[in-house]
Structure 1
Amino acid sequence: MTAVDDTTTPSTAEAWRLRLDAEMAGTGQWPERSPWIRPAVAALPRDRFAPGRLWNWDGHAWQPVDRGTAPERWLELLYGHPSRPAVTQIAGNLPSSSMSAPAVVVDMLDSLLLEPGQRVLELGTGTAWNAALLAHRAGPGRVTSVEVDPGLATAGASRLREAGLDVRVQEGDGGSGFPADAPFDRVIATYAVERIPWPWIDRTAPGGRLVAPWGRLGHVALTVADDHRSATGWLQGLAQFMPDRTAPRAPAHSFTDIRRSAPSAPEQRTVRDPAELQDWDLLFHLRVALPDIRVETAVDEDGVSAWIHDGVSSWAALSSTPDGVFVHQGGPRRLADEVGAARDEWTELGRPEVYDYGMTVTPLDQWVWCGNADTGPRWHTPA
């Protein structure tokens, strides 16, 4: 664990901790059904597990913020807002590891429904703060954490030992490098996957619970069926997570690159308002119905404009002007039309929120449903 620098006085760190605690209390972010979480966070504060260097985006590049030279700014990155993660590692000029936002960590722990004495498998040790909170609840020797990055695994294990916590940290791939002593009562992942790997469920005991970030938005809490042939549960909340760094990915092209290679079809006027694409509930439905598309929006004096692409070959732009909204799109797909159809589907369903969706996973298939696992509409997750 990185030594605490003398320039950061305990009273200063404590002030930041109390400020965040009060803000989360004032906004109702300490969960009532899991009262153990708030005292656990107080007993194992976030700054005890953060590395001495964090990273801040200055609008142009990621800049280091060191505890020894900028202690107040370092603490602000950790505690400044309940919904802000702290970037702890940069690779190739992009974040490769972070401490999830305090409110997100709390929300996922609440979703896990962890009880003392239960055996827990954590996938993604990171800084080990989450593992520490799990151990505080489950008890000594009950938590195993797997980390693919050897440096993070070593540092995380050291921090846990210095905190006096008995947690097993194992270096390995969370997708395949599982401990031999399965099954576990609870399994929690700290990085996002596009599909829930069946081996995660296979390592969870019947009746056990799995909590994992799903894709670009939100996390899911699944309960494993008694016959161990499926797992089902509800989507829990909106947040963005670091992706699985071991998962194979096709190269994703930018909107600019795709637009340059795919000429636009004739311009069209539309009555659709691009401002709708700033609605998080609609964006979540688009993630379910059109999982490969990306949507970005911006506001200027004429209103909201939107840029949509599939990372491969198709793009669309909805531009607000003083004369109305105009659509340009190119490539083999007509993404503005697809997004419009998905938006109409969402409206016909009654504009559901993220909490109205659930997921079912089997060894060979998985899908998201809305409203009811058996009778509601469903969308299969691409392989």
Structure 2
Amino acid sequence: MVITSDLDSLCRSVAAAMDQRGDWPERSAWIREAVDVLPRHRFAPQRLWRWDGHAYVPVDQGSDPAGWASEVYPGPDTATVTQVTDGLPTSSLSSQAVVVDMLDSLLLEPGHRVLEAGTGNGWNAALLNWRAGPGQVVSVEAHPALAETARHALAEAGAMVDVRVGDGNQGWAPAAPYDRVIATYAVERIPWPWIEQTKPGGRIVTPWGRLGHIALTVADDALSATGWVQGLAQFMPDRRNLGAEPGFQQVRTHSEPDGERAFLRDLAPLQDDVHLRFALRVALPYLRMTLARDSDGLNAWIHDTERSWTVLSAIGGGRTVATQGGPRSMADELEAAWDTWLEVGRPSLYDYGMTVTDSGITQYMWVNDADSGPRWSIT
């Protein structure tokens, strides 16, 4: 049976791995101390879930304590799945490195009023409370049972957090205004209530597009917010977007191929260059891509979740053929977005930012400069 000392040892092991990589931020030294005082295993439910290659299977603390402990502490970069609904993960303890990175981006100070959207199991709320102070954090959770579980875990940890059941995208107006807002799930568009409920000069940190997180500062006139991308990681979407998207095979059945052509660029950057992948996410938000390598080289299966698809097939000798179907020419759109990224100087993901204005109606990503740089509308 795994005892507390074993869990503490695993916790220290993850912290040491982050030490070696320089993941603990110097400007937010408080985060390391808070994580030490409030380790993630104190907020993990007795049943966790592991992907076995085909489906998520339960891992119970009572029957498999060692397996449970390894799920709680899988390493700095892996999330712990804490809830599965209809075969899909619907809640998790985010990877420790991502939690730390987002808290650092928040620039949280003692005494700040904080809104958290997405309580989950309460770990992030406890860390926020440790820094901001008792009674300074309001956390909104859509799932009533999760909210109750989080309340219990937070009380056990001595954290005074006001956990409310509701739609996190609507914030929590009765306790506004806030100095800081942080979300634990990905949104495609920034909910305007977050900006409305944040003080001018306040900061909003949220995952965006399931691929990275962004920090926005509310303008002095409270009519807009803008800021830079802070990091790259995958996030669960909000519960309204948790349904399974059509996969490649489903989209492929809607359209017959309309010919093939040579695809003349190396596919390796699609796999190796995170900055290119982020740029493609900004320019082509509907694009979904799966990569796999065989004896002939790297292959890609691409679709738009509706009717358009393309297969980039390696045929040996460094050659690739594009076959596509549907109303969109997905291979052509991929090449055009790739070319744009090259033309603007191969910007890193940290060169991208976002602006939200017009009561949230107008939202766009930009690169290098919010006013003069290239921009892409968020739809």
Structure 2-normalised TM-score? 0.97
Match of 2:253 among 224, 243, 260: 260
Match of 2:59 among 56, 65, 72: 65
Q: Distance in 1 between matches of 2:239 and 2:277?
A: 24
Residue identity matched to 1:261: H
Aligned to 1:212: 206
Distance 1:312-1:194 versus aligned 2 partners, 3 A rule = same
- Whether 2:318 is the aligned partner of 1:321: answer no
Conserved? CA contact 2:187–2:237, under 8 Å: yes
- Whether 2:352 is the aligned partner of 1:357: answer yes
What is the CA deviation profile of residues 180-203 of structure 1, one whole-angstrom value per residue up to 9, with x for unaligned ones?
121100000001110001111111
Residue 177 of structure 1 deviates from its aligned partner by: 5.6
- Whether 2:162 is the aligned partner of 1:176: answer no
What is the CA deviation profile of residues 247-276 of structure 1, one whole-angstrom value per residue up to 9, with x for unaligned ones?
598x84221122122111112112122222
Q: Distance in 2 between matches of 1:186 and 1:334?
A: 42
Residue identity matched to 1:368: M
Residue identity matched to 2:210: R
Conserved? CA contact 1:233–1:358, under 8 Å: yes
Larger helix proportion of the pair: 2
Conserved? CA contact 1:252–1:312, under 8 Å: no
Residue identity matched to 2:346: R
Q: Distance in 2 between matches of 1:79 and 1:254?
A: 31
Cα-Cα RMSD: 1.2
Match of 2:43 among 46, 49, 52: 49
Aligned to 1:135: 129
Find the residue that maps to 2:68 and give its secondary structure: helix
Residue 96 of structure 1 deviates from its aligned partner by: 0.7
Structure 1 residue runs of 5 or longer lacking an equivalent are 1-6
Aligned to 2:99: 105
Distance 1:119-1:105 versus aligned 2 partners, 3 A rule = same
- Whether 2:267 is the aligned partner of 1:274: answer yes
Q: Distance in 1 between matches of 2:175 and 2:81?
A: 32
Aligned to 1:306: 300
Conserved? CA contact 2:219–2:225, under 8 Å: yes
Q: Distance in 2 between matches of 1:359 and 1:138?
A: 26
Match of 2:334 among 306, 315, 339: 339
Residue 91 of structure 1 deviates from its aligned partner by: 0.4
Find the residue that maps to 1:272 and give its secondary structure: coil
* Corresponding residue pairs, total: 375
Structure 2 residue runs of 5 or longer lacking an equivalent are none
Match of 2:192 among 191, 198, 203: 198
Residue 352 of structure 1 deviates from its aligned partner by: 1.0
Find the residue that maps to 1:261 and give its secondary structure: coil
Moved more, 263-272 or 84-93: 263-272
What is the CA deviation profile of residues 87-140 of structure 1, one whole-angstrom value per residue up to 9, with x for unaligned ones?
000001110111100000000000000000000000000000000000000001
What is the CA deviation profile of residues 313-334 of structure 1, one whole-angstrom value per residue up to 9, with x for unaligned ones?
1000100012521010000110
Residue identity matched to 1:99: L
Q: Distance in 2 between matches of 1:304 and 1:14?
A: 42
Residue 80 of structure 1 deviates from its aligned partner by: 2.1
Aligned to 2:236: 242
- Whether 2:24 is the aligned partner of 1:27: answer no
Residue 179 of structure 1 deviates from its aligned partner by: 3.8
Aligned to 1:166: 160
